[in-house]
Amino acid sequence: MASKVTVTVTVNGRTLSAECEPRRTLADFLRQTLGFTGVHLGCEHGVCGACTIVFNGATARSCCMLAVQADGAEITTVHGLADGETLHPMQEAFWDNHGLQCGFCTPGMLLRACELVEEFPDPTEEQIREGISGNICRCTGYQFIVDAIRDGAQRMRQTS
């Protein structure tokens, strides 16, 4: 067995350290070792997008990285979006537009949606659909997610 390594990460503004084996994925490290349950694990091999996080400023699939690679990184999970009890405008928009049913895909959808709106502040439907093409939802049929992202983009334009 490979010897354990100590990994220090800043997650949603909190700096935390823990030991793990090099083979531990960042997804398992965040969810199981550190308890950030907003990191959802669907496929564990890169195809569903549920485990999406923001890694040093860009979205990444935490199941496609090893924890040891994240040493020193700044990470945001879905729980980093809200400001205390106040939801992020994109979260509000998902709530109001029924952009979720079971909520399993929602952390990845929200983080990807926010990144998408940074690139396209007023996204077209095509840009939204293309932008979330890597995030699979088994419940909504996507239409309400697309509506939510368009609405969320508008709210983000107003608040910025």
Partner 1 sequence: MKPASVEYHKATSIADAVDVLSSTEDEDAKVLAGGQSLVPMLSMRLARPSVLVDINGLTDLDYIRRDGDWLSIGALTRSRAVEKSAAVRDAAPLLSEAMGFVGHATIRNRGTIGGSVAHADPAAEAPAVLCALDAELVITGPAGARTVGANDFFHGFLTTAVGPDEMLTEIRVPVLPAGTGCAVEELARRHGDFAMVAVFAAVTVGDDGRCTDARLALAGTNPTPVRAREAEAVLVGSGLTAETIAQAAQAAAGVTNSANDIHAPAEYRRDMASVLTRRALRRAASDANVVV
Residues forming the site for partner 1 (CB under 8 A): 1-2, 5, 21-23, 25, 28, 44-46, 49, 52, 55, 58-61, 63-66, 68-69, 112, 115-116, 130-131, 133-135
- In the complex, the smallest distance separating the C-beta of residue 158 from ligand FES, rounded to whole angstroms, is 26
Among 23, 37, 47, 79, binds ligand FAD (CB under 6 A): 47
What are the tokens at 15?
């700096």
Minimal distance in Å, beta carbon 105 to ligand FES? 3
Picked from ligand FES, ligand FAD, partner 1, none, the partner binding residue 59 (CB below 5 to 8 A depending on kind) is: partner 1
Q: Are the C-beta atoms of 54 and 115 separated by less than 8 Å?
A: yes
Name residue, tokens 């890597």.
Answer: 134
Is residue 71 a contact partner of residue 128, using CB atoms and an 8 Å limit? Answer: no
The count of C-alpha atoms lying within 13 angstroms of the C-alpha of 37, restricted to the half-sphere facing its C-beta, is 1
Residue 137 binds to ligand FES (criterion: CB under 6 A): yes
**Residue selected from 5, 10, 44, 155 as contacting ligand FES according to rule CB under 6 A:** 44
β-bridge partners, 75: 11, 55
Query: What tokens does 41 get?
Result: 């694990």
Structure tokens at 55: 């890694």
Cβ at position 56, least distance to ligand FES in Å? 18
Take residue 154 and report the two structure tokens written for it.
Answer: 């508008």
What residues line the site for ligand FES (CB under 6 A)?
Answer: 41-44, 46-51, 61, 63, 100-105, 137-140
